[in-house]
Amino acid sequence: MKIWNEAKECMSRDELSVLQGERLKKQVNYVYHNVEYYRKKMQKVGLEPGDIRGLEDLEKLPFTTKDDLRDTYPFGLFAAPQSEIVRIHASSGTTGKATVVGYTRRDIEIWSECVTRALTQCGVGKNDIVQVAYGYGLFTGGLGAHYGVENAGATVVPMSTGNTKKLITMMKDFNATAIMCTPSYLLHIAETLEESGDINNIKLHAAICGAEPWTEKMRQQIEEKLHVNCFDIYGLSEIMGPGVACDCIYHKGLHVQEDHFLPEIVSRDTLKAIPDGELGELVFTTLTKEGIPLIRYRTKDLTSIDRTPCECGRTTARIARFKGRSDDMLVLRGVNVFPSQIEAALLEMDGILPHYMIVVDRVNNLDTIEVQVEVEERFFSDEIKELEKLTKRIEGVIKTAIGLAVKVKLVEPKTLARAEGKSVHVVDNRVFD
């Protein structure tokens, strides 16, 4: 089995710890002197760069959260000068403000290296033709995957999303051998191929899927339908994008690129480190980022970690398939959605009562969203046409707010259950075991 960078992916744990410790000290010194926000956070708890002498001092450092990114919007956490930022990406946030990240030329090179390592883990190399069907643009998925494929020496077909018929035509005509997209979209592609009778006319051998939660059963379905080996790739724009971690042919966890990203698993309750193998929140410190380096960033993703060597030969730590999140953010069709975004959109409309329920499900392997909304009694005395018009109007407002189409169901006042304690506005019926 090929390994792209044996020197880094297969080094001993002792050697890796030394490397991480040196890079951590350098990164802390870098942010202290180049990011005022971080300098003030460290000074507030009485820390100076010299207090961080290695990995043993990591817990002394304060956490970074999405609130910090929001409070410093748009460029307050950038460490490199604007003249060195060669690209900006952004993802959705809770208040309409995007989470903005910047990359230097070196950041882009390291990102490409990490994605190439992931592709090599998946058996993809210079003889492959890879369709990238993640979204391009501000979303990190498309361009992140694209540059990694090129760096691996493979041929990239930048399909993006939105035209399944064209994607399938090119998949057949170009003899594509690998695809990168969300797992739900890949199952949709598989079903379309079955319906058209083309399921046996494709040459795919690998599928690299990510950007949304998915199950082991879903992976097996994809493999059975398309006769491919299906892999799980992980990333988040705040840390880099796709390629932070990826599983290998043994599917026993996602290998973290630990020479660039330092993982911790902390208790959801105490935020203290917990033993390997126990479920907790994943925290990352970037070790080589120049554009927007982050210290102890709380991802809110729940997983466990295994630092034992893998059968594939790599010694990097592996994180388990995610079991959920420690906040209320939903990942739907690869898009981050916060219930508060929907609430804010609803409350701007006349005649809408402040009671709603978001019901998320997965039907035929695609995420569905229904928003049940209480409206004033007067609407139910009007003609059906008026209710339909209001429904369409609300659907449009929500789509503008979150970027996804939803089904809206209008209900009469006092229809939805009231909670005596903390209100519950989301029912997620999807299963991620």
pLDDT tens profile 79-119:
999 999 999 999 865 445 789 999 999 999 999 999 999 99
Q: State mean pLDDT over 147-162.
A: 96
CB atoms within 10 A of CB 76: 16
pLDDT tens profile 412-425:
988 988 654 446 78
Q: State mean pLDDT over 49-75.
A: 96
Cα–Cα distance measured from residue 56 to residue 60, given in angstroms and rounded to the nearest whole number: 9
At residue 92, the pLDDT reads 63
Angle at CA of residue 397, ends 391 and 402, nearest 5°: 120
At residue 421, the pLDDT reads 42
Q: State mean pLDDT over 246-266.
A: 98
pLDDT at 165 over 90: yes
pLDDT tens profile 383-431:
788 889 999 999 999 999 898 999 999 999 889 886 544 467 889 998 7
At residue 326, the pLDDT reads 76
Which residue, chain included where needed, has tokens 């990942």?
331
Domains with residue ranges and CATH for the chain: 6-327 (3.40.50.12780), 332-428 (3.30.300.30)
Helix (H) or strand (E) holding 188: helix 183-196
Cα–Cα distance measured from residue 355 to residue 249, given in angstroms and rounded to the nearest whole number: 47
At residue 353, the pLDDT reads 81
At residue 364, the pLDDT reads 82
The pTM assigned to this predicted structure is 0.83
3-state secondary structure of 100: strand
At residue 433, the pLDDT reads 61
